[in-house]
Amino acid sequence: IKGALMNFIIRKVKKMVPEYRIPNTVTFQTALKQGAANTFKPVELTRDDTALLQYTGGTTGLAKGAVLSHGNICANMLQAKEWIRNSLREG
């Protein structure tokens, strides 16, 4: 409640946040409605396809995106499984 009240005061009463518009944008709710209207279509994936971008500060402190493939993620899971295999029971 406190955060919502402060946001209201800062935006509407004190007018400290300027109005802005970003052209050609879609609201989150609209995107959800548009997505719900489509049916799921599975696609073929390979180990080399991009799974995600991991944003990291790296060693220099500058933010950068590291491309992780599906093969990277699978290899990481297999490595983690080997590290903890003696601590887990299947099932």
Tens of pLDDT along 54-65? 988 767 777 788
* Co-location of 54 and 79 in the same domain: yes
Ranges of the chain with pLDDT below 50: none
Residue reference for tokens 């406190």: 2
| Within a domain: 14 | yes
Whether the full predicted model's pTM is greater than 0.75, yes or no, is no
* Co-location of 29 and 58 in the same domain: no
Residue 51 CA to residue 68 CA, distance in Å, equals 6
* Co-location of 58 and 83 in the same domain: yes
* Co-location of 8 and 32 in the same domain: yes
Residue 91 CA to residue 74 CA, distance in Å, equals 20
29: domain range?
Answer: 2-36
pLDDT of residue 16: 86
Looking at the structure of the chain, the number of domains it has is 2
Residue type present at position 78: L
pLDDT of residue 70: 96
* Co-location of 32 and 55 in the same domain: no
pLDDT of residue 50: 96
